[in-house]
Amino acid sequence: QITLKESGPTLVKPTQTLTLTCTFSGFSLTTNGVSVGWVRKPPGKALECLALIYWDDDKRYSPSLRSRVTITKDTSKDQVVLIMTNMDPMDTGTYYCAVSTRGYFGSWGQGTQVTVSS
């Protein structure tokens, strides 16, 4: 059974850096074709894919957020970490991690709410 769970701060101040961790089980990020991505949903807005990391350490970033986002993995801990710099109130929303094998996201974490406010 595949599970993913997001963890990190629920409140960050503007200009601060956000670090979120996705801890997963039921699959390996060393398996050919597997990737884990971060998707967020701001209130009242659409889903947005922020970044994706592949089994071979290849990475893909949202073109609009590339300068602010970094994704890494620790296969020994079955974790994927998202770092987002210079947080703004517009970054408020629910952040999900999800696993993908062919580009679509088959399993998702429960999501973690992040509020950006002073």
Q: Which of 32, 67, 103, 118 binds other proteins (CB under 8 A)?
A: 103
109 binds other proteins, rule: CB under 8 A: yes
Pick the closer one to other proteins by CB: 16 or 65: 65
CA distance to 16, 44, 58, 89, 109, per residue, from 79 (Å): 22, 29, 16, 27, 13
Tokens at residue 95, please? Answer: 């952040």
102 binds other proteins, rule: CB under 8 A: yes
Neighbours of 35 (CB within 10 A): 22
Pick the closer one to other proteins by CB: 19 or 48: 48
Q: How far is the CB of 113 from other proteins (least distance, A)?
A: 10
CA distance 107 to 105: 6
46 binds other proteins, rule: CB under 8 A: yes
Residues 22, 35 contacting (CB under 8 angstroms): no
Pick the closer one to other proteins by CB: 19 or 101: 101
* Size of residue set near other proteins by CB under 8 A: 23
Q: How far is CA 22 from the centre of its chain?
A: 7
Applying CB under 8 A, the residues found at the interface with other proteins are 37, 39, 45-49, 52, 60, 62-63, 96, 98, 102-111
